[in-house]
Chain A
Amino acid sequence: MTRWKLWLPLVLFAGFCALVAWPLIRPPSTDVHSQLIGKPLPQFALKPANSTLPGIATADFRDGKPRLLNVFASWCVPCAAEAPQLGELQRQGVEIVGIDLRDHPEDLAQFLQQNGNPFARIGADDIGAVQLGIGSSGVPETFVIDGKGVIRYQHIGDIRAEDVPMLLGKLKDAEA
Chain B
Amino acid sequence: MIAELGLAALWLAAALALLQLVCGVMVVRRDDAALASVIRPLAVVQGALAALAFGALLLCFARFDLSVKLVAMNSRDAQPLIFQIAGTWGNHEGSMLMWVTIMSLAGALIALIERRVPERTMIATLATQAFVGLGFYAFLLIASNPFERLDPPAQQGLGLNPALQDIGLAYHPPTLYFGYVGLSVAFSFAVGALITRQVTPAFARAMRPWVLGAWIFLTLGITAGSYWAYYELGWGGWWFWDPTENASLMPWLAATALLHSVSVLAARDALRTWTIMLGVVAFSMSMVGTFLVRSGILTSVHAFAIDPERGAFILGLLALYVGSALVLFALRAGTVAEGERFAVTSREGALVVNNVVLCALLAIVLVGTLYPLVTEAYGVRVSVGPPYFTPVSALFFLPMLVVLAVGPLLRWRRDSLERIQRPLVLFFAIAVIALAGVWFNSSIGFLPLVGMALAAMLAVASFAPAQGRNLRRLPLAVWGMMIAHFGIAVALFGMAADSAFTVEKLVAAKEGDTVEIGPWLATLKTVEPVAGPNWTALEATLAVSYEGEPGKALRPQQRSFWAPAQKTSESALLTRWNGQLYTVLGDQAEDGRWQLRLWWKPFVTWIWYGGILIGLGGLLALIGRVGNDLKRRHAQVRIARRKRTAE
Contacts and interface: CB of A to CB of B under 8 A. Distances in A.
A107 B157 CA distance: 12
A176 interface: no
B73 A77 contact: yes
Contacts of A23: 297, 373, 376
B330 A7 contact: yes
A34 interface: no
Interface string B56-72: 00000000000001001
Contacts of A1: 333-334
Interface stretch (B43-51, B320-328, B441-449): B320-328
A93 interface: no
A123 to B, nearest CB: 17
B330 A6 contact: yes
Contacts of A76: 158
A166 to B, nearest CB: 23
A24 B330 contact: no
A28 B277 CA distance: 36
B575 interface: no
Interface core residue of A1, A6, A20, A23 (most chain B CB under 10 Å): A20
B69 A77 contact: yes
Interface stretch (A9-17, A37-45, A54-62, A149-157): A9-17
B323 A10 contact: yes
Given A1-B334, A20-B297, A77 B72 contact: yes
B295 A24 contact: yes
Given A7-B330, A13-B284, 17 more contacts: A1-B334, A6-B329, A9-B277, A9-B330, A13-B322, A13-B323, A17-B315, A17-B319, A19-B370, A19-B373, A20-B291, A22-B373, A23-B373, A75-B563, A77-B69, A77-B72, A81-B150
A107 B312 CA distance: 38
B150 A13 contact: no
Contacts of B416: none
Given A10-B326, A75-B158, A77-B73, A19 B374 contact: yes
B162 interface: no
13 contacts: A3-B334, A6-B334, A7-B330, A9-B326, A10-B330, A20-B315, A20-B370, A20-B373, A22-B373, A23-B376, A24-B311, A24-B312, A114-B155
A153 to B, nearest CB: 24
Contacts of B562: 104
Interface in A74-94: 74-77, 80-81
Nearest to B333: A6
- Closest 9 A-B residue pairs measured CB to CB? A10-B326, A6-B330, A102-B565, A7-B330, A77-B154, A23-B297, A77-B72, A24-B308, A6-B333
A21 interface: yes
A9 B329 contact: yes
A137 interface: no
Contacts of B150: 77, 81
B564 interface: yes
Contacts of A6: 329-330, 333-334
A9 B328 CA distance: 11
Contacts of A21: 312, 315
Interface string B142-185: 00000000101011101100000000000000000000000000
The size class of the interface chain A forms with chain B is 20 to 34
Nearest to A27: B308
A3 B377 CA distance: 33
Nearest to A21: B315
Contact of A80 (B155, B288, B373, B564): B155
A9 B332 CA distance: 14
Nearest to A23: B297
Given A75-B158, A80-B155, A13 B326 contact: yes
Contacts of B72: 77
Interface of A: 1, 3, 6-7, 9-10, 13-14, 16-17, 19-25, 28, 74-77, 80-81, 102, 104, 107, 110-111, 114
A157 B118 CA distance: 55
Interface string B301-324: 000000010011001001100110
Nearest to A114: B155
A21 B152 CA distance: 38
B322 to A, nearest CB: 6
Contacts of B330: 3, 6-7, 9-10
A136 to B, nearest CB: 16
B495 to A, nearest CB: 30
Nearest to B154: A77
A114 B322 CA distance: 51
Interface string B275-292: 001001000100010011
A75 B564 contact: yes
Contacts of A17: 315, 318-319, 323
Interface string B372-391: 01101100000000000000
A77 B152 CA distance: 10
A146 to B, nearest CB: 32
Contacts of B277: 9
Contacts of A75: 156, 158-159, 563-564
A13 B377 CA distance: 18
Contacts of A9: 277, 280, 326, 329-330
Contacts of A22: 373, 377
A47 to B, nearest CB: 17
Interface string B187-202: 0000000000000000
A74 B327 CA distance: 53
A6 B334 CA distance: 8
A91 to B, nearest CB: 19
B587 to A, nearest CB: 15
Nearest to B324: A10
Contacts of A110: 155
Contacts of B312: 21, 24-25
A75 B312 CA distance: 30
A65 B85 CA distance: 50
Contacts of B291: 20
B322 A74 contact: no
A104 B322 CA distance: 50
A176 to B, nearest CB: 37
Nearest to B277: A9
A10 B318 CA distance: 13
A104 B329 CA distance: 60
B155 A24 contact: no
Contacts of B288: 16
Interface in B244-295: 277, 280, 284, 288, 291-292, 295
